[in-house]
Amino acid sequence: MIDTLKKLHFHVTAQALLFLILGLVMVFSPDSVTAFLVRLVAVVILLMGAFVLLGGLTTGSAFSSLSGGLLAMIGLWAFSRPNTVAAFLPAIFGVVMLYHGVQDIGLALESKGYRASSWGGMIVIGIISVILGLVCIFGAFGVLKLVTRVIGIMIIADAIGDMILVRRTNQASRDIVDGEVVSEEDIGE
């Protein structure tokens, strides 16, 4: 059992160290992590496009050839401009939040017309959504860096927690093993 526990501790510690490194990279170099992930997805899109294009060419399907070529071009473009592609994500969420915020403000004003008592709080929620949406749209790169850094901090915290857990488990297992060494013969003498 102790050998199994030691192996488990080694694997958990190794994973924790890798997560710690990943978290540090995400905190101190969020652009490189984002670019890597976008490029990884771009390669998948490029390969999908190539397979669809080849399938279209071999079967004589103009639609498959065209869509495969388009997918391949999108993959190439995304690979060559990862930061531009990554900036679209927060902007898309920003547009959705902006829309919902305006919708919330409209509903709050409608509630005011019906003499609802909570319309003021509803307007505040709508304004916050509009502001956050605008931040996502106009500060897309900053939002992306912030999100990457926050995830990095969470990964670092997880890694540190794992290392503490392994250390405490090792100590507890040593205490139990040390406690089991005592036998009746040792007490009687």
Residue 26 lies in a domain: yes
Which residue from 123, 130, 125 is spatially nearest to 98, judged by alpha carbons?
130
Whether residue 187 has pLDDT greater than 60: no
Burial of 33 (0-12, 13-18, 19+ CB in 10 A): buried
Whether residue 164 has pLDDT greater than 80: yes
State whether residue 151 is helix, strand or coil: helix
Residue 93 lies in a domain: yes
What mean pLDDT, rounded, does the chain reach? Answer: 86
Instruction: Give residues with Cβ within 8 angstroms of 105, minimum separation 6.
Output: 123, 126, 127, 130
The predicted structure's pLDDT at residue 168: 84
Q: In whole angstroms, what is the distance from residue 58 CA to residue 52 CA?
A: 10
The predicted structure's pLDDT at residue 188: 55
Say how far residue 115 (Cα) sits from the centre of its chain.
Answer: 43
Residue 147 lies in a domain: yes
What is the total count of domains within the chain?
A: 1
State whether residue 117 is helix, strand or coil: coil
Residue 182 lies in a domain: no
Q: Span 64-73, mean pLDDT?
A: 93
- The pLDDT tens digits of the residues spanning 103-150 come to 999 988 988 888 888 889 999 999 999 999 999 899 887 888 898 899
Residue 189 lies in a domain: no
Residue 184 lies in a domain: no
State whether residue 111 is helix, strand or coil: helix
Residue 143 lies in a domain: yes
DSSP 5: H
Residue 181 lies in a domain: no
- The pLDDT tens digits of the residues spanning 40-63 come to 999 999 999 999 999 999 998 888
Long-range contacts of residues 24-33, Cβ cutoff 8 Å, at least 24 apart? 24/152, 24/156, 25/152, 26/148, 26/149, 26/151, 26/152, 26/155, 27/149, 27/152, 27/153, 27/156, 30/144, 30/145, 30/148, 30/149, 30/152, 31/83, 31/145, 33/148, 33/152
Q: Provide the domain limits for residue 48.
A: 2-175
